[in-house]
Structure 1
Amino acid sequence: MSAPRGQAEASTGIDTTPPPSVEVLGVRLHDLSLAQLLERLQHGVLVTPNVDIIMRARTDPAFLELLNSADFSVCDSRIVQWACSFLGTPVRAKLSGSDVFPAFCAHHRDNALVRVYLLGARPGVAAMAQQRINRRLGREVVVGAHSPSFGFERNDAECRDIVARIEETGATVLAVGVGAPKQETWIMRWRPHLPGVRIFMGIGATIDFEAGAVRRAPPWVGRAGLEWLYRLLQEPRRLWRRYLIDDLPFLWLVLRQRLGLNTASRR
């Protein structure tokens, strides 16, 4: 997913050395604080693996390769952060998309070169998020928003229309919130068609949170590692299988990694 970087970019003084990283069940995570991430995030692709994403990657080699090719891959789960510590490779921060994205927008409040486009959520929700963010920051940081149709990623004509919409706004940052692995796969597929966009982010449910369409868990719930339970109680019919079946083996697999019993290749 990484594109070659030209001499003009190299002359800006941006630190392009790879961030320090650790590995959980084959997925690489970069060990960065929020301040370090905001300083480094000048270009490239940001992904935010949580338990569900890591478990999906175990059974999808293409998705695993995609995650591990991202320029920035940060820990989006207190449980994953605890797992890193248990494995003897702690990461300094939990950096969910719903934390990073608003912090990024606030960090660039006065930077006219940062123009964000939101892609995702239900009809009208992305536009509402755009209004709320710009009102909060006092600048048109978000220059466009679009809620695509269900299954849009399989429709090349619709995707090309979305690309044209993004290009028309002059956006330099694209935040995609359509869930994993769809958002990361879409970014990989269409990134070459968006030369004006320097930063791509997969941000999951963040657009819903920013619009006020879905209530985020209180901070103490996140600190306790129970944000998954909070979301499950909000949307049980959609999320019960993910959290109670698909993600359940995670801790057992981490224990196996600690004991050196997993067969996944190290990267």
Structure 2
Amino acid sequence: MRMPNPREVLELIERMRCISNDGERRALIDYLGAVDRPTVLSFLNAHGLNVCMGSDAALAAFASSDVLLRDGIGLQAVLPVLGRPAGLNMNGTDFIPLLLKSLAPRSVAIYGTATPWLDRARVVLEAATPHRYADLQHGFHPTEHYIAQARATRPDVILLAMGMPKQEEVATELKRALDHPVLIVNGGAIVDFLAGRFKRAPEAVQRSGLEWAFRLAQEPRRLFRRYCIGAFGFAWSTIRLRRAASLRTRGSGAAAPASTRISPRISQSTIRRSPIQKEL
């Protein structure tokens, strides 16, 4: 397996969409609600960055995303170091429920996690959103199964809940295989949160940027490697990316590229919790 060059990961980071205010967030929701082809929405957090730094296949899967958003405080700290704006924390746990609540009625398929969490999440979503959730598939099928299901049912939205990088790889294959307008959302643990399998941190903890610690306390065996050992990998990744950015800037004799969406002063506040999350 080829290890990506840091410059390639830097290019992925530079493709992230910076959302700096409520108006830009609203415009993004409007765009995602009017896609005319298979379109992939993904979220990049510190763990995702580590995955991309270590796997060419994972990097390619993330790079196939049409919209890539910043998720979490790890990237919030790194982006300014790389000359990029951090913008709002567009974490999927908050943004995906907001997106689903904001869209006009659609047919939604959920591929991922396991029963009974799929059924419990559907009950919550049907009560809080106007959509029809007709196709629920656990997250342990081969990719071909999800492609066949999506071709047969032709949903307007596909919510993937398989974890990184499997869901991004499945999303890439769905995007290639489908021929109808569909929004494919890489949701990670969102279905488990909605189903009540895992609890969200108290809002004060979320605002402090320590939700990762709350999650680690709930799932220490599964998340220790990601959050504790992964922190060292993330620090090393940051050093390598900063070096790559510096070398490129010196080589070109130009300043680091500016974001396509930079406001004079980027707010560091996070998205307010959606009504769906407040019900849990």
Match of 1:51 in 2: 46
Distance 1:148 1:62, change over 3 A: closer
**Structure 1 unaligned regions, length at least 5:** 1-22, 154-158
Q: Please list the CA deviations of residues 200-220 of structure 1 after superposition, one character each: whole Å capped at 9, or x if unmatched.
A: 111100000111121112232
Tell me if structure 1 keeps the 8 A contact 2:64–2:172: no
Opposite residue 253 of structure 1, the aligned amino acid is: S
Q: Is the 8 A contact 2:40 2:67 kept in 1?
A: yes
Question: Structure 1-normalised TM-score?
Answer: 0.77
Q: Which residue of 2 aligns with 1:126?
A: 118
Instruction: Sort the Cα spacing of 1:253 and 1:216 in 2 relative to 1 into closer, same or farther, 3 A.
Output: same
The C-alpha deviation readout for 1:123-142, integer Å capped at 9, x for no partner, is 221121111111123x3343
Is the CA contact (8 Å cut-off) linking 1:130 and 1:144 kept in structure 2?
Answer: no
Question: What is the rounded CA distance, in whole Å, between the counterparts of 2:43 and 2:248 in structure 1?
Answer: 20
Counterpart for residue 188 of structure 1: 172
Code of the residue aligned with 1:118 in structure 2: it is: I
Q: TM-score, normalised by structure 2?
A: 0.74
Q: Hey, what does 1:178 align to over in structure 2?
A: 162
Query: Post-superposition shift, 1:192?
Result: 3.3
**Mapping for residues 57-76 of structure 1, pairs under 5 Å:** 57-76=52-71
Equivalent in 126, 145, 167 of residue 136 of structure 2: 145
Q: In structure 1, how many angstroms separate the alpha carbons of the residues matched to 2:157 and 2:248?
A: 34
AA matched with 2:125: I
Which residue number corresponds to residue 237 of structure 1? 221
- Asked if the contact 1:120–1:177 (Cα under 8 Å) also holds between the matched residues in 2, the reply is yes
- 1:6 corresponds in structure 2 to none
Letter in 2 for 1:140: H
Q: Distance in 1 between matches of 2:164 and 2:74?
A: 18
Shift of the 189–261 alpha-carbon distance from structure 1 to 2, 3 Å rule, reads: closer
Alpha-carbon shift at residue 179 of structure 1 (Å): 0.3
Measured at CA, do residues 193 and 241 of structure 1 come closer, stay the same or move farther in structure 2, by a change above 3 Å?
same
1:136-192 deviation per Cα after TM superposition (whole angstroms, max 9, x unaligned): 23x33433322233xx23xxxxx4444344444441110101000000101112333
Deviation at 1:86, TM superposition (A): 3.4
Deviations 1:90-126 (A, max 9, x none): 1321111111210111111xx23x3211111122211
The 1-side partners of 2:63 and 2:112 are apart by: 23
CA RMSD of aligned residues (A): 2.7
**Aligned residue identity for 1:183:** Q
Q: Residue 184 of structure 2: SS of its match in structure 1?
A: strand
Question: Shift of the alpha carbon at 1:240?
Answer: 0.6
1:25 Cα deviation from its structure 2 partner: 4.5
Within 2, Cα distance between the matches of 1:167 and 1:195? 8
Amino acid at match of 1:115: S
Determine which of 174, 186, 198 is the counterpart of 1:202.
186
Change (3 A) 1:188 1:206: same
Mark the CA change 1:208 to 1:60 in structure 2 (over 3 Å): closer, same or farther: same
Change (3 A) 1:242 1:26: farther
Q: Distance in 2 between matches of 1:60 and 1:119?
A: 24
Tell me the distance in 2 between the aligned counterparts of 1:188 and 1:240.
28
User: Higher relative contact order at CA 8 Å, sep ≥6: structure 1 or structure 2?
Assistant: 2
What is the match of residue 213 of structure 1? 197
Q: Aligned partners of 2:86 and 2:188: how far apart in 1?
A: 21
